[in-house]
């Protein structure tokens, strides 16, 4: 049979491909872990968690000393720059997760367009970076 050298060559190629993919996966996974570690301790992350809780979990009060106080989102100190830098950091995380799980990507142009509208409408920004 003359197929044996061809089959063996295909097996060698497949093992190399698996090793290359394993190396790529491990590098992407490490980048994901490192990027998340940096983002998760960011100064604005706690404020974003508070907004998330208020909007999605309807936790609009917080217990302070012996009283409940309403949460004032304006007092959290989030700026348009915080939103932009957080979204920029999240973009790479989403890309990595997509690549690791299913080789997917994200339509960042559509997100940028929506955020620009929000910057002008909510923050009154004249120029959006």
Of residues 69 and 99, more confidently modeled:
99
Q: What is the value of pTM for the model shown?
A: 0.56
Q: Which of 119, 22, 55, 44 is nearest to 89 (CA)?
A: 44
Give the pLDDT score at 34. 94
> Once rounded to an integer, what is the mean pLDDT over residues 61-82?
75
> Once rounded to an integer, what is the mean pLDDT over residues 103-114?
71
Work out the pLDDT band at 103, boundaries 50, 70, 90: low
Q: At 69, is the secondary structure helix, strand, or coil?
A: strand
Q: At 68, is the secondary structure helix, strand, or coil?
A: strand
The per-residue pLDDT of the chain, averaged, comes to: 79
């Amino acid at each position: 049979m003359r197929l044996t050298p061809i089959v063996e060559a295909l097996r060698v190629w497949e093992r190399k491909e698996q090793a290359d993919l394993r190396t790529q996966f491990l590098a992407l996974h490490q980048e994901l872990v490192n990027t998340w570690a940096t983002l998760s301790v960011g100064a604005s992350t706690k404020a974003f968690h508070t907004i998330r809780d208020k909007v999605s979990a309807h936790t609009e009060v917080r217990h302070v000393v012996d009283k409940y106080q309403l949460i004032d989102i304006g007092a959290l100190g989030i700026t348009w720059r915080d939103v932009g830098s957080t979204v920029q950091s999240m973009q790479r995380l989403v890309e990595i997760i997509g690549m690791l799980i299913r080789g997917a990507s994200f339509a960042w142009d559509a997100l940028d367009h929506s955020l620009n509208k929000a910057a002008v409408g909510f923050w009154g920004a004249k120029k959006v970076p």
